[in-house]
Structure 1
């Protein structure tokens, strides 16, 4: 017999979901670079535990993250509106609605930049593999996923 869980909605209207209160977990020296990013967690509304889904908006001049790669987590983005630039270690590409990109664990470092005068909106989907680490080839930053979320240090392990 299946028990229905009435605490989770059958569906939600994604753009109406409240944004994350804390804009960034990055140390303050880096947080300003993603200040024009708004994430609306969608997967959490359904108690998804194996992967996360965010409806993300980048204002003009905004960045999705610092250029980074994950050691264990895969990521995927799907552009809904606007024309963000995908920047990787291999180059840059201007994206349009309907374009998507995937980033396997350990692959190329990546991030999105909005160099236009209009908002860019996209879905970002990533798994929640335990023990993940983030590396940042252009910044003195290292990230380790803990039970309490991301913990950031300098590359040599010293605190910010």
Structure 2
């Protein structure tokens, strides 16, 4: 019989940041410099959705601007004033504001920190198998296969 007790609660800042800054291949991975993710959901063994406590240093971005075919996403701003960039344009966010991105709409989005202060936010997304990511600004596309993102050029050749 195991004496291991399940983890009930943690202080989010004590969760070790993800060691690999990005799943993107180069030349895109280095564009994520200044982004730090703490995978809070993984600490508790959550498998249906992920929760990240994310920090963006000044001039950092949250991700390449993207949309998902099957994954809903949600963000909640805790600190700082990032710019939310979507197909509709730019929206200035502030602490206490939130945004959601429904799967299948094709509305590409990401956060940009154009300020001199650190931005801190929670991001929540599901882990629906077969999800695909579209990146209108870059020569990249993605597909979630067996829990791993696979990246290709838009012409289908692998990175």
- Asked if TM exceeds 0.5, the reply is yes
Aligned to 1:149: 148
What's the offset of the Cα at 1:147?
Answer: 1.3
The more displaced of 7-16 and 59-68 is 7-16
Aligned to 1:80: 78
| Residues 129 and 147 in structure 2, CA contact (< 8 A), matched pair in contact too | no
Report the RMSD for the aligned CA atoms in angstroms. 1.4
| Residues 8 and 45 in structure 1, CA contact (< 8 A), matched pair in contact too | no
Unpaired runs of at least 5, structure 1: none
Aligned to 1:17: 15
What's the offset of the Cα at 1:8?
Answer: 2.9
Aligned to 1:93: 91
Aligned to 1:127: 126
Q: Distance in 1 between matches of 2:154 and 2:70?
A: 18
Consecutive aligned runs of 4 or more in structure 1 exceeding 2 Å deviation = 5-8
Matches within 5 A, 1:2-151: 6-107=4-105, 108-151=107-150
Deviation string, structure 1 residues 9-57 (Cα, Å, up to 9, x no partner): 1101001110001000111101121111100000011111111000000
Equivalent pairs, count: 157
Secondary structure of the residue aligned to 1:86 is: strand
What's the offset of the Cα at 1:7?
Answer: 4.5
Q: Distance in 2 between matches of 1:37 and 1:27?
A: 16
| Residues 65 and 111 in structure 1, CA contact (< 8 A), matched pair in contact too | yes
Q: Distance in 2 between matches of 1:83 and 1:75?
A: 19
